[in-house]
Structures are given as structure tokens and as C-alpha cells.
A and B are shown apart, each in its own frame.
Chain A
Amino acid sequence: MADEKRYLFDQPRNVQRVLWTLYTCATVLLLLELVVHRHTEHPWEWLPGFYPAYGFIGCVVLVVAAKWLRRIIIRPEDYYQRGDLPRQPQSGVGPP
């Protein structure tokens, strides 16, 4: 639409900027681990990159499992409406 105002993320360049900021943050955080001394309590925590890997893999597993779960539990939008709601009187059939 030519007459409509252009908003911030209508420019693909701005979306790319957000993504590159995210990638930079991720890299910096990963590198910081080499510099900062971490005190750890759990046996797995000392593993290099434990938290980043856990966060990334955890979310991928979450989404893939959720997609699989959805196949079992998904129903049409009006699934419950068919029985729960009081029946609407059909036009022309009800009492005058």
C-alpha cells in the first residue's frame, strides 16, 4: 500500500539488525564464559557452554515434542461447542 505509513519492521533491514544484535549477544556471552570465572554447584555446570546448549537444545526439543503432541490433541475449533451449549432453536421449527 503506497499511501500507508511505513513502520519500523516494514524495512527488512531493521529486522536483520535485530537478528544481528541477537547473534552478537550470543557470541559475546559465549566468549565471556572463557574470561569470567564461574563458581559452580551442579556437576554439569562446569561443562563449557552448558547453559547455552541446554537453552538451545531444550527449546528445540520442546517445540518438536509439542508439535508431535499437537497431532494427538488437536480438534476442530467448534469441538466443544457441539455439545456444551444449549441447542439453538432452529428457525421455523420451534413453537410459534
Chain B
Amino acid sequence: MISLPPFVLFYLAAAAALLLRGTPRAVLLVATPLAGALNLWLLPADASVLLPFLETTLEPLRVDRLSQLFGYLFHLAALIGFVYALHVRDTLQHVSALLYVGSALGAVFAGDLLSFFLFWEAMAVSSVFLVWARGTPAAYSAGMRYLVIQVTSGLLLLVGLLLHWRVTGSLEFDSIGTGHVSGWLMLFALGLKAAFPLLHSWLIDAYPESTPTGTVFLSAFTTKVAIYALARGFPGTELLVYAGVTMACFPIYMAVVENDLRRVLAYSLVNQLGFMVVGIGIGTELAINGAVAHAFTDVIFKGLLFMAMGAVLYRTGKINGSELGGLYKTMPKTTVLCIIGAASISAFPLFSGFVSKSMIMSAALKDGYDGAWLLLLFASAGVFHHAGIKIPYFAFFAHDSGIRTSDPPGNMLLAMLIAALLCIGIGVFPGMLYRALPFDVAYTPYDVTHVLTQLQLLVFSALAFVWLNKRGIYPPELNAVHLDVDWTYRRLLPRLAGPLFGAVAAADRGLRSLGGRAVTGVVAVARDLGSAGGVLSRQVGTGTMVTWVTLLLAIYLLLSFL
């Protein structure tokens, strides 16, 4: 049996999807991740493909435990995503999603930085079509900003890797560290896609503008590839602990006041990435395992929540908390599935978030990051507050919006069901996931202390929600824009640059009119000369020419005698 590099299968499927329609394409979409997972299973555990390139060697395929786990995760996410999107009849979305998944797989199995860069850029270009697929003017402009930032990240990565190549003479993608400026450049590039503090606004801006199905894909891949790359290139970089804690804490404030429920989920995506980045920053085997495990569980439960909100948007055409409510009456299945996702992200015992997040928390305590631990604990309570309670509460309960609809089509429900079962399955039987982690570390999430303290934290957070609501302190959902960092490049910079551009434009106008006048003058002179009666258009007989030639020859003869 021949096994292919994982990305090849998805690229081939993308080409095939262009030619197929209807049921054959649906079969193709579901079969590709399944065949891909089988292919990955058949790949030898240390498979490698080497390509000589200039004076170095590229390694477009390298399998190890870390990449393998992300490989399976991406196949799983693709399967869930495609089942969820089966009812969609949009070639653009299907093809770009296949290319996007293929590129993400290419990136996690790239053994050298140049191949990684190529897939990194391919992800940017293929994913932007998922944003644009919504077809609204807002999605178009958000997609443009998304593309600019994604490509910028790629360029930084390219410059970083070229410098790295010159300094170390190798392009191999292993631990990079921040010993050299090239390392910083690459860390910045990865940080852009991992939504580091102040670099996160592209995610908040673009993801909620995509289609109901597109957001499910977007939420799974780009940021997780960045987490994978950080885990490979920068484990134990202490700066990441602080960056991660900020990411875990700050977005929850924004999420509490945000009205667009998919934007709330985007904030909570950044918050969850914060936990992973802290794990990578701590850098111990337990912490890295925790970060990777959390990436695994997050793709599934965040996907589930995005799917539930996608179903709401698909059925009602609305996604603002202020316009929804009472949907449990007519979307009971979606409600239950959403609550399972909410329980998982909140890390309730027996749900998947619990078994992965607790590894990072334990690692933080063990390594003496007490302050970080306290802040992460606060972030855990905050996650429950904004994602665990707010999302289901405002969509499905709260005040009755009067909307009467129905549960989404069967394929959407099936995709959510698969994700929900995985959330519970991983939560109840974490052993399978733990065995697949990059390091062999014995860890037991279920002990009495841990379960009790986590339940106390969560139940009293819920109590706080009830109390705040009863007292009327809880901020109401308002139809409004809440500014984020993207304000700097959407409003502040244009405003500051306005006078500068104005001056440049004025100078440009002046120079152009000067040039224009010069050209007009030359043309006028030429026209004068060439017009009837002008010097250049005078009619002259052949005799005159012969006279002149004779004269010239005479002068030439005269000169030769001198």
C-alpha cells in the first residue's frame, strides 16, 4: 500500500471537487478526511521525504508524535466540518476548504521552514475565500484586512527563516528560540496567527463575518497550526507565559459586553489559545502535553459551539444576543448539543476541557508560576461566565424573542452530535488522548481535590451570574460596535495618515499638471511645425535635394583637402 503525504490527498480532492456536483461531491467531501486518516495511519511513524534544494535539503514530509497528533486532529476537524457543510451548494467554499485543510496538514508535516512557509501562505490565501463566501460588503472588507495580516505574517516568517538559514546554515524546523533576531521575527510571525495580545484583532474581525459553515473551518486550523509551530519552535520561552496569560484574561472582558455571539466565541477562542501559549511558555513535558491536548479538545468543543451558533444563524438569520432568546422551544436538539460544548469549554469534570486544561494549570503550579496560575484560574471562571453561560443563555433562553423555527438539517445535527460525543468521550476516557501526546507523562485529572475545587469554582461563577442578573447589574446586550485593536488600523492610522496622504496627493497633482503642461506645449509646437504651412510639412522639389547633396559633397571634398 502506497501512502501519500497527507496534504496531497486534499489537494487532489480539491481538484476533483471542481469537476463533481451533487451527491458524488458530497461523498468526496466526507470520504477525503476518512481516506486521509487511513493514509496517515499507514504512514510509518518516522516517515520522511527529502528533496535536495540549492545547497540544502528540504523535508516536505516529516512524521513525529507531535505532527501526527495534529494530523489526526485536522482530519477529524475536517470530517466534522464537511459533514456540517454537506447541505451547502457552493463550489468556492468546498474547494477552498479542501485546499485550506490540505495546507494546514502540509504545514504540520513540514520538516523544514521553507516548506512550512509555503503551506503557511497557502493557508492564508485559501482561507480568505471562506470569509468572502458570505458575500456581504462587511465580509469583503473584513476578508481584505484578514488577507493583508495573514500575508504579512508570512512575509515576516520568510525574512526570519532566510536570516535563520544564513546564521545556522540549516532550514530544519526544530527548536528555534529567541537567541537571534531571526528567532524574534519568526516568533512575531507565529504570534500574529496565534492571536498574541494586540495582534489578535484580525481573528475577532474576520471569523464572525464568515458563513455559518466557513467559521467552523476557520476556527479549527490557522490558530492551531500556529500553536503547533510555537510548540515545535519556541518551547520554554518565558515571554510566552506572560503573553498567554494576557490572552487568557483580556478577551473575556470584551466577550462579556459583545453582542454578536459568534464574536463572543472568537474572543473565547483567543482566551483558550492563551492557555495553550502559557503551556508552551512553561515548556516542561507536562506543560507541552497540556498545551497540545488543549489544542485537541479546543478544536472539537469550539467547533461544536461555532456549529451551534452557525445553526442558529442559519435558521434565524440573526446572531446578536439582543435579537435572540427562547430558541430552546423550537431548537431543543441544538440547545442540548450547545450546552455540551459549553460544559466542555468551561472544563466541567467528565467533559473534554477538564482533562486538558488541568494539565496546564498543574504545570503552572509545579513550575512556580503562581501569579500566572491565579490569573488562569480567574480566566477559567471567566470562560464559564462568557462562553459557558452567556452563549447558551442568550441564544436559547433569556427573554423569549418570539422566533419560532426548527432544528437545522440532519447533516448539521450529525456533525454537532459527533463533536458532542467526542467532548464527552475524551472527558470520560482521557487515556486515549493522553497516550497520543508527544511526551509520556503520567497524569491523572480525576482526583477528589481537583474535581471538588473545579466544581466549586464553576458553580459559584454560575451563582455570580444569577446574582448579577437578579440585581440587574449584568450588562444588557446592546446593538453596538465595541472597539478593539483593529480600530487603530481601521480608524486611527487612516486619520493620522490622512494629512500626509493629502500632502502627497497635492504634490502629485502639482507635478502632474506641470508635466501635463510641458507635454501639451511640446505637442503644440510639433503640431505647429507639422501643420500645413509649417516648416516640416513644406513641399520641396527633388532638384532642391540634389543641390543640397552636391553642396554637402563639395564641403566634404573641401574639408578633405584641409
Interface residues of chain A, those whose CB is within 8 Å of chain B, are 5, 7-9, 19, 22-23, 25-26, 29-30, 32-33, 36, 38-45, 51-60, 62-67, 69-70, 73-81, 83-86
Given A9-B328, A26-B460, A51-B454, 6 other A-B contacts at CB below 8 A? Answer: A25-B459, A52-B456, A58-B377, A60-B464, A73-B482, A74-B480
Kindly identify, within residues 235 to 260 of chain B, every residue whose CB is under 8 Å from any CB belonging to chain A: 252-254, 256-257
Taking the closest CB of chain A, its distance from the CB of B81, in whole angstroms, is 29
Of B256, B449, B466, B478, the residue contacting A39 (CB under 8 A) is B449
Interface size for B (C-beta < 8 A) is 53
Pair B468/A33 contact, Cβ less than 8 Å: no
Interface centre among A36, A59, A70, A78 (most CB of B within 10 A): A59
B461 to A84, Cβ gap below 8 A? no
In the complex, chain B residues whose CB is within 8 Å of the CB of A77: 479-481
B455 at the interface (CB under 8 A from A): yes
Q: Among the listed stretches B34-42, B336-344, B378-386, B536-544, which one makes contact with chain A, having 4 or more residues with CB under 8 Å of it?
A: B378-386
From A52, A78, A80, B460 is in contact (CB under 8 Å) with A52
Bits for B469-511, please: 1 = Cβ < 8 Å to A, else 0: 0000111001111111000001100100000000000000000
- Tell me if B253 and A51 are in contact (CB < 8 A): no
Please judge, given known A-B contacts A59-B465, A75-B483, whether A65 and B253 are in contact too, CB under 8 Å.
yes
Closest to B144 in A: A84
Task: Determine if B462 is an interface residue (Cβ-Cβ < 8 Å).
Answer: yes
The answer, among B456, B458, B490, for a CB contact under 8 Å with A84, is B490
Query: Could you count the A-B residue pairs with CB atoms below 8 Å apart for me: how many are there?
Result: 150
Contacts A36-B449, A38-B453, A39-B449 given; does A58 touch B481 at CB 8 Å: no
Return chain B residues, CB-CB under 8 Å to A23.
463
Q: Which residues of A contact B468 (CB under 8 A)?
A: 59-60, 63
Whether the pair B480, A33 counts as a contact (CB closer than 8 A) is no
Q: Across the interface, which residues of B come within 8 angstroms of A65, CB to CB?
A: 253
Q: Check A19 against B381 for contact (C-beta < 8 Å).
A: no
Q: Which of A19, A67, A80 contacts B481 (CB 8 A)?
A: A80
Interface of B toward A, CB cutoff 8 Å: 137-138, 141, 252-254, 256-257, 328-329, 365-366, 370, 373-374, 377-378, 381-382, 385, 397, 448-449, 452-468, 473-475, 478-484, 490-491, 494
Q: How far is the CB of B411 from chain A (nearest CB, A)?
A: 27
Q: Which residues of B contact A63 (CB under 8 A)?
A: 256, 385, 464, 468, 473-475
Per DSSP, chain B at the interface is helix
Contact of A69 among B253, B374, B449, B460 (CB under 8 A): B253
**In the complex, are the beta carbons of B137 and A22 less than 8 A apart?**
no
B452 & A66 in contact (Cβ 8 Å cutoff): no
B475 close to A56 (CB less than 8 A): no
**Residues A62 and B382 in contact, CB atoms below 8 Å apart:** yes
The 4 A-B pairs of least Cβ separation, nearest first, read A59-B464, A55-B460, A66-B256, A51-B456
Q: Determine the residue in chain A with the shortest Cβ distance to B385.
A: A59
Residues of A close to B397: CB separation below 8 A: 9
A87 to B266, CA, bound (A): 29
- In the complex the two chains form, is B462's CB within 8 Å of A22's CB? yes
26 A-B residue pairs with Cβ-Cβ distance under 8 Å, sorted by A, are: A7-B328, A8-B328, A33-B456, A36-B449, A38-B449, A38-B452, A38-B453, A42-B374, A44-B374, A45-B453, A51-B453, A51-B454, A52-B459, A54-B378, A58-B381, A59-B382, A60-B467, A62-B381, A62-B385, A66-B254, A66-B257, A69-B257, A70-B475, A73-B257, A74-B482, A75-B483
The smallest beta-carbon distance between A66 and chain B, in angstroms, is 4
From A38, A45, A80, residue with most partner B Cβ within 10 Å:
A80
Q: Report B-chain residues with C-beta under 8 Å of the C-beta of A69.
A: 253-254, 257
Q: Give the docked Cα–Cα distance between A8 and B332 (Å).
A: 11
